[in-house]
């Protein structure tokens, strides 16, 4: 007799500080850093980067840059990290600049969370942002595995943009999952309030990193990172690298 197909679970983790409370080793972990790491990674891979190597420290990034034929880049507190030439803006990684190359990237929150998920033996890791929303949703439905929507947040403080993206994913795939997690309810409820115009909602709510990037004159980055499917590629972590799936 065929076993009744087990319906997978979906959980949302609003801060890296809560990751350990989730069933990481039995789940596909979606690393979410809308502003801007996972948006930039999707842009680079969509524009033909061979792979993206996410590293935890600037020192490691520089070291790899001295050892390998790679492009090194990094951001700290929204600015280009000291000692590196390139930062975390999706507009840097045009086809002309990045096609066929490997990008080594370190960021304040996104790459940190990815390494935390690795340390917790995540079953699989993909990255998500509004820029590749459809690819993420299609993959999670197809895989029929437990899912954790993991928000990179800001230095462990919950942020709006990552929570909204988790809500967007839930709104599109919830009928395929068991969802008994209040964080998922919070994310979906927030998204239902903001979905009409996420940029305006973030502005109205004075979102912290949104404001920080605006102050740095990076409105173009914000608009790009909030645009659905503008670089719609599935991004999967394989053998130490993020590659287009």
37 binds ligand MLT (CB under 6 A): yes
Give, as ranges, the residues between 201 and 240 that touch ligand MLT (CB under 6 A).
Answer: none
Give, as ranges, the residues between 49 and 108 that touch ligand MLT (CB under 6 A).
Answer: 75, 78, 88, 107-108
CA distance 144 to 125: 15
For the bound state, the minimum distance from the C-beta of residue 55 to ligand MLT, rounded and expressed in Å, comes to 12
List of E strands, the chain:
10-13, 28-32, 51-54, 71-76, 79-80, 102-106, 124-128, 147-151, 235-238, 241-244
45 CB neighbour count, 10 Å cutoff: 26
36 binds ligand MLT (CB under 6 A): yes
Q: Which two tokens stand for residue 59?
A: 């020192």
Note whether 61 and 73 are within 8 A (CB).
yes
Note whether 107 and 153 are within 8 A (CB).
no
Pick between residue 81 and residue 179 the one whose CB is nearest to ligand MLT.
Answer: 81
33 binds ligand MLT (CB under 6 A): yes
CA-based nearest residue to 83, from 71, 91, 73, 97: 73
- 175 DSSP 8-state letter: G
Binding range to ligand MLT, per CB under 6 A, among 29-37, 63-71, 133-141, 234-242 = 29-37
Of all residues in this chain, which one has the CB nearest to ligand MLT in the complex? 107
For the bound state, the minimum distance from the C-beta of residue 71 to ligand MLT, rounded and expressed in Å, comes to 16
Interface with ligand MLT (CB under 6 A), residue from 110, 130, 169, 234: 110
Q: Total residues contacting ligand MLT (rule CB under 6 A)?
A: 12
Letters for 128-157 (x = contact with ligand MLT by CB under 6 A, - = none) are ------------------------x-----
Note whether 92 and 74 are within 8 A (CB).
no
- Among all chains, which residue has been given the structure tokens 């394989």? 238
Interface with ligand MLT (CB under 6 A), residue from 35, 150, 202, 233: 35
Pick between residue 80 and residue 236 the one whose CB is nearest to ligand MLT.
Answer: 80
Which H or E element spans position 162?
A: helix 160-173
Question: Residue numbers of the site for ligand MLT (CB under 6 A)?
Answer: 33, 35-37, 75, 78, 88, 107-110, 152
């Amino acid at each position: 007799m065929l076993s009744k197909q087990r319906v997978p679970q979906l959980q949302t983790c609003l801060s890296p500080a809560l990751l350990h409370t989730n069933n990481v080793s039995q789940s596909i972990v979606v690393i979410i850093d809308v502003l801007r790491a996972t948006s930039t990674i999707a842009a680079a891979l969509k524009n033909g980067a061979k792979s993206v190597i996410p590293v935890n420290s600037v020192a490691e990034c520089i070291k790899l840059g001295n050892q390998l034929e790679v492009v090194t880049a990094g951001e700290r507190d929204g600015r280009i990290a000291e000692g590196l030439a390139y930062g975390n803006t999706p507009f840097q990684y045009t086809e002309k600049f990045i096609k066929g190359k490997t990008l080594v990237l370190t960021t304040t929150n996104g790459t940190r969370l990815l390494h935390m998920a690795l340390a917790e033996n995540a079953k699989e890791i993909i990255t998500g942002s509004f820029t590749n929303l459809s690819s993420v949703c299609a993959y999670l439905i197809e895989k029929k595995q437990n899912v954790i929507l993991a928000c990179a947040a800001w230095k462990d403080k919950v942020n709006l943009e990552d929570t909204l993206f988790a809500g967007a994913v839930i709104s599109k795939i919830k009928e395929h999952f068991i969802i008994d997690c209040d964080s998922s309810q919070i994310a979906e409820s927030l998204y239902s309030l903001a979905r009409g115009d996420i940029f305006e909602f973030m502005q109205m709510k004075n979102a912290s990193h949104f404001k920080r990037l605006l102050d740095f004159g990076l409105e173009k980055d914000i608009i790009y990172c909030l645009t659905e499917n503008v670089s719609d590629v599935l991004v999967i972590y394989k053998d130490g690298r993020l590659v287009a799936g």
